Amino acid sequence: MTEKDDRWMSSITEIGPNKINVRGYPIEDLMGNLSLAGVLGLLVMGELLPPEAERVLDAVLVSSCDHGTSPPSALAARIAASTGASLSASISAGILSINRHHGGAIEGCMRYLLEVDDRVDNAEIKPEDAVAAVVEEYGRARRRIPGFGHRLHSQDPRAVTLREILAEQNLYGRHMEALYLTEAALKEESGRDLPLNVDGAAAGALLEIGFPPEAGNVVFIMSRVGGLSAHVAEEIIRERPMRVIDPRSAGYDGPGERRLDRGNDP
């Protein structure tokens, strides 16, 4: 078709009168049948995720929804909001703070896991030997393996739960395996506990469902929009403009611990 020469092409969504087909699927079919997680999977991968993978992705998205007042993204969003920035500008200030050092450990750990995987595939060695070799290489290059250790959590509840959900959905595979082999190798190497954190577990989960490392930050950014919005709203409602936002002096005065009781629902 000669017309194509003059046009640039997109393969994401086909738009026509009363037609919105996302990666080919009519939007009205997606609504009610897929969660936002499922649609994110469709947008990133180009194909539908199996329902088990969609559930895993939804759990990853939930796992990083907020981490209180201390993350840089929450502080940047609050600072912008306290000067009178709009909602979208405040959220953008937050998202601009999601990069290699904040959120980026997901992608970093995914790349580490793919290095291990390459080694297993190409050198035909056992996973534990591949892990040992790559851990040793990182150590020699004085590179930290992203996704292990946490300033606050000695056993990150999000990592533990992601592991369980992957097992439940029959998606606990070689990447998750490699994470726990890495945990053991790091302990042996350093003598210290560097337990798997939420970023590492998310990295394993995303690889198990077929996501590429480039999509690691996409997941984290979507995950945090709700939390950032809550911080922006709270800053506007509860605080005076231009206050000094001191991250060291924040307290919590929300509801005490309560349990979810939804039976098997939803």
Could you say which residues in the range 158-197 bind a copy of itself, by CB under 8 A? 158, 160-162, 164-165, 168
**Bond before 266 cis per omega within 30 degrees:** yes
Residues 189-248, interacting with a copy of itself (CB under 8 A): 214-215, 217-218, 221-223, 225-227, 229-231, 233-234, 238-239, 241-248
**Closest approach of Cβ 135 to a copy of itself, in Å?**
22
By CB under 8 A, residue 86 contacts a copy of itself: yes
Nearer to a copy of itself, 50 or 127 (CB): 50
Three-state SS at 187: helix
Q: What is the pattern of x (binds a copy of itself, CB under 8 A) and - over residues 124-153?
A: ----------------------------xx
By CB under 8 A, residue 114 contacts a copy of itself: no
CB neighbour list of residue 60: distance below 8 Å, 6 or more residues apart: 162, 202, 205, 206, 219, 223
Nearer to a copy of itself, 96 or 123 (CB): 96
**Closest approach of Cβ 208 to a copy of itself, in Å?**
15
Cα Rg of the chain (Å, integer): 21
Q: How far apart are CA 78 and CA 234, in angstroms?
A: 9
* Strand arrangement, sheet containing 13-16: 13-16, 19-22, 25-26
* C-alpha atoms less than 13 angstroms from C-alpha of 57 in its C-beta half-sphere: 29
**Closest approach of Cβ 209 to a copy of itself, in Å?**
14
Q: How many residues bind to a copy of itself according to rule CB under 8 A?
A: 136
DSSP 87-154: HHHHHHHHHTT-BTTBBTHHHHHHHHHHHHHHHHHHH---HHHHHHHHHHHHHHTTPPPTTB--SS-S
156, 183, 199, 208: which one contacts a copy of itself (CB under 8 A)?
Answer: 156
Residues 1-30, interacting with a copy of itself (CB under 8 A): 3-4, 6-30
Beta bridge partners of 193: none
Q: Do 68 and 252 form a contact (C-beta atoms < 8 A)?
A: yes
**Closest approach of Cβ 71 to a copy of itself, in Å?**
9
Q: How far apart are CA 195 and CA 146, in angstroms?
A: 11
Nearer to a copy of itself, 134 or 159 (CB): 159
Residues 34-63, interacting with a copy of itself (CB under 8 A): 34-40, 43-44, 46, 48, 51, 54-55, 58-59, 61-63
**Torsion (CA) 94, 99, 101, 107 in degrees, nearest 10:** 130
Nearer to a copy of itself, 48 or 206 (CB): 48
**Closest approach of Cβ 63 to a copy of itself, in Å?**
5
67, 111, 144, 187: which one contacts a copy of itself (CB under 8 A)?
Answer: 67
Task: Name the token pair of 155.
Answer: 């056993």
